[in-house]
Structure 1
């Protein structure tokens, strides 16, 4: 039973059939078309060369299916984890220049993978439930703003005159101070961004207008990133083909063929001591993003996932991925949504995606040389924009609990004026403080007695004396006899709330 829980594919692989295979091929090819440009773009956020995004994309889909309990989720480079990885490797590289960026990133994948795998082995997946939705929304929205502000200078061709690794607030100010240094890349970047949103709006309208052609417009919408990359790759080639060594617009440049960075990760005492300080934030991002996505699509498609097994899956994937040169990867919301909509039937679709990525690594790297960096920035901004929480959700936060609404804005402000790592810690800390506050100030109610009469019985019922529980205000409960009172507590009677309960009891009784 334990062995089967570690390798869930054993429970369904013997029932695999051609119908499932055809659906998995379609889903796998669709995800591959999206993950290749996204992977190369997100690698830049991690301060790594584009090929490392391809390595992470390949390992994520080729290993995860062995351990997966979710048929929909796709493991690979994601924006938030990439920007956090970039911050970590940049900080460590400044202290120890002898460590290359990709060496630090691979070591981070091993350390965080082992930690997450241990959480799954010890069945600690429930800890995710202690983080409320507003805190999650705050760090995803704050991270999205951080990434977008950091990519605007690249989009406009103005990323050389100042440091884009500063806080988003400073990057935004410095961009406007140095806006005169923008160049022809801005034309490519802005037009690519406009086209991406135009295609999406058109396809969304067309699906409503022509429901019989929903599949056609779905795939057109899904592949819009590929179309834009190809169009601007061709434009970039036309502009720079005569002098590729001194291009007129920023291009991706040479990408080595194959897995050139396969090696045993370098983890010595110095490296480990530095990585441990960043481990909490990396684990939080890796775990929360993956589990939240897996649970959401499990509910949508009517199946249950095992959070602990999912932790083992992403842990093993990251540990093994580091030997291929991959950096930390987790579940991607956008690619998971595409995979689900494409009709995936089993996690084996990841193998199809992996095969296509391998072909790209070995065959298409000469073509990738001409990809416009401004168009990649447009792809990142377009993909990240959906992570920003809208007014409707904010209104719900306020109506449910104003304190949680406050947590959201605290997390946003810290992320924007500081960095993602501090934003994560503040969101978690304020959430825990709110949890303790609620538990320590748990409410209790004094109950009065009314007589309930029906055809079958007559009995006494006890309701709140002040009707704060929503009972009919026209019914007046009777107080108990002298010396007797009934007090209902709504939380466990423990030391954080014992004093609060006793104060209310003493105040009422004496």
Structure 2
């Protein structure tokens, strides 16, 4: 950073560099080079397993075997439980569990994630099945579920192949947490009647609050199932509490405690099944005292191609957006979470391909929609998994269960499965502490979270998801349309070691143009100069807001260039109320006349046509207000495309700063010729220096002189390379600041822009240009 104050002594030599050229040809070329190698890399990236399978070794295999067996012990009871949520027979949960974990390993970029049935997606599958069956009884529940999996998988696969996974980022974490919490509460409320044995007495698919009310009403009708259900719940929570306490209290037994936590679900199912068999074996099937699963077909008896026709697709289509959102968001959130925890990076697009391919191929085995499971992924991660190949081991466990344990599955109590579901889903509910954290970080996002939860409870899960997503997008658009931006003042910092070393930093000012930090000595901008920092991209949603702020600030803190006096009352425009009582007379107004606006573009990554036209209109308006040509200086321009857009509108030109209409809705008439307008603007350039009244035209400085001096490079045809789409050269002026000779209103940093807008700088620049014309090299 150049120190201040700046003088004409010890002038450094000129410094030149060329900006990156911005052109449509360059952009097209950069995106089409090496097409064959890019296509090959793309095809290879579709199968991440090829990148590590050649390095597979015994150590990895041992870790994958242990993790795969551990997850397999969990996924079998969970898969059957979640199938019950989806209103499907238990075997369909096992089908989804097998094919999901088996196929995922070939497409995965996460070693920890386990694909299979999950609670929220199972609940949505049940909603879709119910809605379709309300319209027609032509299709069975498994047919509807597999058709849903096929369509959701095809959409996810398409998004991944087209590399459109970035759209997932439009939904923030609090919104996801909101509908996940609402869904978890809905699932728990729907499973409590199964625990109490009253699920057949009322509709457990109603809104959550209705289910809760009906559950309380039918408490007197509780059946023997409550014994299994309540004891199972107590067992699961007691074991978890005891083993977590033991793990913290006795670290040397931590692995044993973890093993107990993993196997508690399987142990519960084994003992519940044994007790159920002892109780029910002497009863006729119709007279069983408790509800049990009953027949589970052995093996893959339902394997076959999925059925779907236009009518069924039409019934499912309205539910597809919600289903895809659940499928995609839950999986990406889980995979990113474990990637951060275990120090590797996942590819969201490839993960979409993985779940899309898994669901589509899974329909051949009559699987219903499956996605990443948080609980099973956590177990897999803690079990020491080394590669995604552990999913093959888990799939083998599920296949073994389908062929060897189906006779035992007959006696599993429904109440025990319901207890297992409640225990698993309870972890999805966001704690009050976490909700308070949302509020502390961003209150509006916390309100979105609460809205999603409330709507899910009192309406439907679908409406809760739409509320969360819609509110998130609306908040995003509002932030874009109403960006933050601040007017700045200058603080001069001095080094403790070297008092001669100084640099300027620019800090925000309050709306009344006073410092936000009273303890800092903040200097206001030079008289007649405004400094504004944009904090978002400058595009059509926020263009008018930004420019209105600049105009309002200019009219508030600077005065008109000439008094607004009219000879006749009728000459005053209708929208000009005239001077108010108590206003300071023009002659006594000590405010400076606006001379320049400095814009800090350090946060601007995009600039569109509407925003450029808004700048053009603003400059016209301010120039009319100041009765002179107001300079616009731009600092910290990030992209050559932004500079190209500004140049196309006439900004940045050292001589004329011509104003050009780029997207005016109403053509602006101008009786002057372009040459006359340019000459008028040249004559209006603010003269600087306490006694200097010399203008550029009086100095005889023309663009040809600048080109001859080396300030602007030309090509063979004599065209300036500083024109639109070309390059511009920069050099160091006498004061040590780096300026663009062809477009000196574009600056390397904000301090140079402010200094260029001051009166002293223009005098220095004129002196420098005059010396160059006389053949003197700085």
**Could you say which TM-score interval applies, normalised by the shorter chain?**
over 0.9
- Residues 318-373 of structure 1 show CA distances to partners (whole Å, capped at 9, x for unaligned) of 00001101000000000000000000001111111111111111111010000010
- Residues 104-139 of structure 1 show CA distances to partners (whole Å, capped at 9, x for unaligned) of 000111000000000001111111111111101101
- Residues 155-177 of structure 1 show CA distances to partners (whole Å, capped at 9, x for unaligned) of 00001111101111111111112
Q: Please tell me whether residue 233 in structure 1 is matched to residue 273 in structure 2.
A: yes
**Pairwise CA distance, 1:61:** 0.8
Contact in 1 for aligned 2:110/2:335 (Cα 8 Å) = yes
> What is the alpha-carbon root mean square deviation over aligned residues?
1.5
**Pairwise CA distance, 1:506:** 2.6
- Residues 217-252 of structure 1 show CA distances to partners (whole Å, capped at 9, x for unaligned) of 101011100111111111111110112512111100
Q: Write the distance in 2 (CA, Å) between the matches of 1:24 and 1:213.
A: 22
**Pairwise CA distance, 1:449:** 2.0
Q: Please tell me whether residue 474 in structure 1 is matched to residue 519 in structure 2.
A: yes
- Aligned to 2:533, the other structure's residue is in SS state strand
TM-score normalised per structure 1: 0.98
Q: Write the distance in 2 (CA, Å) between the matches of 1:493 and 1:21.
A: 53
Aligned counterpart in structure 2 of residue 213 of structure 1, from 237, 242, 253: 253
State the partner residue of 2:418. 377
Contact in 1 for aligned 2:124/2:323 (Cα 8 Å) = yes
Q: Please tell me whether residue 264 in structure 1 is matched to residue 308 in structure 2.
A: no
**Pairwise CA distance, 1:457:** 3.2
State the partner residue of 1:59. 99
Aligned counterpart in structure 1 of residue 175 of structure 2, from 125, 128, 135: 135
- Aligned to 1:252, the other structure's residue is in SS state coil
Q: Write the distance in 1 (CA, Å) between the matches of 2:145 and 2:505.
A: 64
Q: Please tell me whether residue 177 in structure 1 is matched to residue 217 in structure 2.
A: yes
State the partner residue of 1:311. 352
**Pairwise CA distance, 1:154:** 0.3
Q: Please tell me whether residue 495 in structure 1 is matched to residue 536 in structure 2.
A: no
Q: Write the distance in 1 (CA, Å) between the matches of 2:399 and 2:107.
A: 21
Q: Write the distance in 1 (CA, Å) between the matches of 2:170 and 2:487.
A: 30
Q: Write the distance in 2 (CA, Å) between the matches of 1:481 and 1:16.
A: 67
- Aligned to 1:461, the other structure's residue is in SS state strand
- Residues 63-96 of structure 1 show CA distances to partners (whole Å, capped at 9, x for unaligned) of 1111111110000000000000000011102212
State the partner residue of 1:422. 463
Q: Write the distance in 2 (CA, Å) between the matches of 1:471 and 1:52.
A: 63
Deviant stretches of 4+, over 4 Å: 467-472
Q: Write the distance in 2 (CA, Å) between the matches of 1:154 and 1:429.
A: 34
Q: Please tell me whether residue 98 in structure 1 is matched to residue 98 in structure 2.
A: no
State the partner residue of 1:388. 429
**Pairwise CA distance, 1:472:** 4.7
- Residues 367-423 of structure 1 show CA distances to partners (whole Å, capped at 9, x for unaligned) of 000001000000000000000101111111111111111111110111001111111
Q: Please tell me whether residue 486 in structure 1 is matched to residue 509 in structure 2.
A: no
Count of residue pairs the alignment pairs up: 510
Q: Please tell me whether residue 459 in structure 1 is matched to residue 503 in structure 2.
A: yes
- Aligned to 2:405, the other structure's residue is in SS state helix
Change (3 A) 1:185 1:501: same
**Pairwise CA distance, 1:492:** 1.1
Contact in 1 for aligned 2:510/2:516 (Cα 8 Å) = no
- Aligned to 1:451, the other structure's residue is in SS state strand
Q: Please tell me whether residue 505 in structure 1 is matched to residue 550 in structure 2.
A: yes
State the partner residue of 2:231. 191
State the partner residue of 1:299. 340
Q: Write the distance in 2 (CA, Å) between the matches of 1:423 and 1:15.
A: 46
- In terms of mean alpha carbon deviation, does 477-486 or 377-386 score higher? 477-486
Aligned counterpart in structure 2 of residue 17 of structure 1, from 57, 72, 75: 57
Q: Write the distance in 2 (CA, Å) between the matches of 1:6 and 1:40.
A: 31
**Pairwise CA distance, 1:495:** 1.9
State the partner residue of 2:404. 363
Q: Write the distance in 2 (CA, Å) between the matches of 1:214 and 1:469.
A: 59
- In terms of mean alpha carbon deviation, does 336-345 or 483-492 score higher? 483-492
**Pairwise CA distance, 1:37:** 0.3
- Residues 26-80 of structure 1 show CA distances to partners (whole Å, capped at 9, x for unaligned) of 1000000000000000001111000000000000011111111111000000000
**Pairwise CA distance, 1:469:** 13
- Aligned to 2:532, the other structure's residue is in SS state strand
- Aligned to 2:541, the other structure's residue is in SS state helix
Aligned counterpart in structure 2 of residue 333 of structure 1, from 374, 381, 393: 374
Contact in 1 for aligned 2:488/2:509 (Cα 8 Å) = yes
1:66-81 paired onto structure 2 within 5 Å: 66-81=106-121
Change (3 A) 1:241 1:470: farther
Q: Write the distance in 1 (CA, Å) between the matches of 2:533 and 2:235.
A: 61
- Residues 183-213 of structure 1 show CA distances to partners (whole Å, capped at 9, x for unaligned) of 1101110010000000000100110121111
- Residues 259-310 of structure 1 show CA distances to partners (whole Å, capped at 9, x for unaligned) of 1111211111101112221111011000000011101101111111111000
Change (3 A) 1:447 1:116: same
- In terms of mean alpha carbon deviation, does 131-140 or 171-180 score higher? 171-180
Contact in 1 for aligned 2:509/2:516 (Cα 8 Å) = no
Structure 1 unaligned segments of length 5 or more: list them.
none
State the partner residue of 1:202. 242
- Aligned to 2:139, the other structure's residue is in SS state coil
Q: Write the distance in 2 (CA, Å) between the matches of 1:505 and 1:268.
A: 59
**Pairwise CA distance, 1:471:** 7.2
Structure 2 unaligned segments of length 5 or more: list them.
1-40, 556-778
Q: Which has the larger radius of gyration?
A: 2
